[in-house]
Every structure is written in C-alpha cells, then in structure tokens.
Amino acid sequence: MTQELPAPLTPADSDLRNFPEMPIEVARLRRSKAWLIAKRIPELGFFMMNLWQGSWHEMPAGSLEDDDDVLADVAMCDPKRWKKFKADAMRGWVKCSDGRLYHPIVAEKVNAAWFKKVHYAWKKECDRIRKENKKREADGKPPLVFPPEPLPPSIGIPLEESGIPQESEGIPAENALKGEERNRKGEEGINKTYVPTASDGADKPDPKPRKHHGSEEDHTAAHWIFDRVLLLNPTAKAPNWDAWANEVRLMREIDGRSHHDICELFAWVQRDAFWCANILSPAKLREKWDALVAKRGRPARDLQQRPSIEDLNAQRAAEFLGTAPAGDTNTIDMEA
C-alpha cells in the first residue's frame, strides 16, 4: 500500500523574496544530529546551509524542487559528487503532495515570517477601511466591513492560502490617503481584538491602541544603522529594535524620506569627525536632519593649519634667544 504524501508545510503563495534575512537558532542547530555530522565533514555543512538558505527565497518559501541537478546547484555542489553527499545533505527534508521537498524547521521559520507579512498587510487594509469609513459616515453611506484578523499558524501547519487580504472594492489606494491626519501624534492604532459585526461594521476605539513598530524594510534599515554604530563602538548595546524601526517609519511616512535617503545621510554622518559621535540612532538622525543636510551641502573650508607642540617649543626657544626670523609666516605671536 502506497503511503500518501503529507500536505505542503508552507502556503502555496508564500513569498519571502523581500525578506533579506533568514532566522537561525544557533543553539538548536549546534545540538542537531545534522550539524554533528557536518562537524566531521565541513563541506557537508556548507551544502546543508546553502539548501536551507536557497529554499527561503523559493516559491513556495521553504521548498525545493525534487531534482538532483537543481539540488546540486542550490547546494553549490559538483553534480558528479552530489550522489555521495545527497543522503546527509538532505537530512530532514520530506517530499510533500505537491512534489516539492520541505524541511520542517525551515518551514516553521517560513510560516512565522509569512504570518508577519500577512498580518502587516491586514493591518494596512484595516487602516484603509477605517479612514474610508470616516468619509462614508460623513456622506451618510454604510460602513465597509473589516476583514477577519489572520491567526498565527501552529508549528508545522501552514497558513491558509491567499492569506494576504485584498484591497476592498471602492477603497482608495493607500497613497491617496496618506497625509490625512498624518500630523496627529495620537494616530489610532489597529484594534487587535475587535471583530466587526453585521449590525454596525464600524471600528471601535481600543483603549490601548497598538503601537507602530515599522515595516520589515524599516527594521532592515534600523539594523543597517546599528551595524555602522558598531564600527565606531563595538561594545554598543543592542537598541530597542521596535523603537528604532518606528523612528525610521516616521522619517519615511511623516518626513517623506526614503530608506535610501536615511541610510545615505547616516553614512555621511559616520564620516564626519563631529557628528559621528553625536548621531548614534535614528531618533537623533531625525532630530538633526536639517542641520546635517545643511552641513553636508556646505563647501569644505580650508582650515588654518595649527602648529604642533614641537613648532610651539621651537618658537619659544627662538624668541628667548632672539633669533626668530622676521616675516616668518609660521611665527606664533605669543602675546596675542
């Protein structure tokens, strides 16, 4: 009797190609039998890591095509040697009903990241509906119903397909709504527990609105900035990543700066002898933005060369002996 293949371990539409980082539990990896084998055969660890990382940006995320030529290419292994290493390199991978190969632990990380992406899209959709409902209320139109909040997946159980909510019909695109109530510091958050009913369909204020923590790209920019801080201070403590990402979000959404603008200016700050010690966070970068841009655009001035200690000592000796040459441009007026 042929055993049925398990269902795919990640959603068919899961796409993490815009997630540049793949999480790895170091302690869990080092305790695994696979890594014990890799310690004895180092190149096997290289092949394993390439397979895990390669599947991260596949579609569905966390999967690989069941083809030896493709697998050898992803593992960066000579196809002639692939058969020798395949059994150990593919340790833990299982073939599923869609014909592709999945690794349960990689799938676990994929599902967590995919849920984060799905949930962020849901929040943005709710935000659009909330703003649209305010306009509809003023026009005497019935409110639009909010989509249900997606639930986090259980370990090993993929999210339902098409988890990202589509934009509701008739709701303007997000860019058309930006700027509206933008300067209100108490901007309403997403109600985490609210479930709309057919009778009202309107959002109810949450007494404790959820704080904004920025997008995945905002977090990436925050990490990039901290990496530059570590170059100057290797012992710097890790920041509150949510707070840093939120400052990046504010610069992007409120101030109209792009991620490129933010990172480019911070890179310039790191090269400035004064500002590199004073701008060590996105919040400080935002606070001093105008001053930094003005300073960066100012042409460099030729600073007067300051005499060294040796020059000053030589000048004192020359004055004491009365041998200081007249008209010497390097002569220091000690009485000034």
Q: Which residue has the higher pLDDT, 237 or 167?
A: 237
pLDDT for 211 equals: 57
CA distance 310 to 113: 62
pLDDT band, very low/low/confident/very high, at 31 (cuts 50, 70, 90) = confident
Structure tokens given for 74: 């992803």
Q: Which residue has the higher pLDDT, 320 or 228?
A: 228
- At which residue do the structure tokens 């997403």 appear? 190
Whether the Cβ atoms of residue 126 and residue 171 lie closer than 8 Å to each other: no
What number is the average pLDDT over the span 257-267? 90
Shortest CA distance to 119 belongs to which of 155, 159, 62? 159
Q: Does residue 71 carry a pLDDT above 50? A: yes
> Three-class SS of residue 193?
coil
Q: Does residue 184 carry a pLDDT above 50? A: no
Using a pLDDT cut of 90, give the percent of the chain over it: 25
Q: Does residue 58 carry a pLDDT above 90? A: yes
Does the CA dihedral 316-317-318-322 come out positive or negative? positive
Average pLDDT score, the chain:
76
Structure tokens given for 132: 């649209």
What number is the average pLDDT over the span 299-304? 42
Q: What is the pTM of this model?
A: 0.47
What number is the average pLDDT over the span 64-81? 92
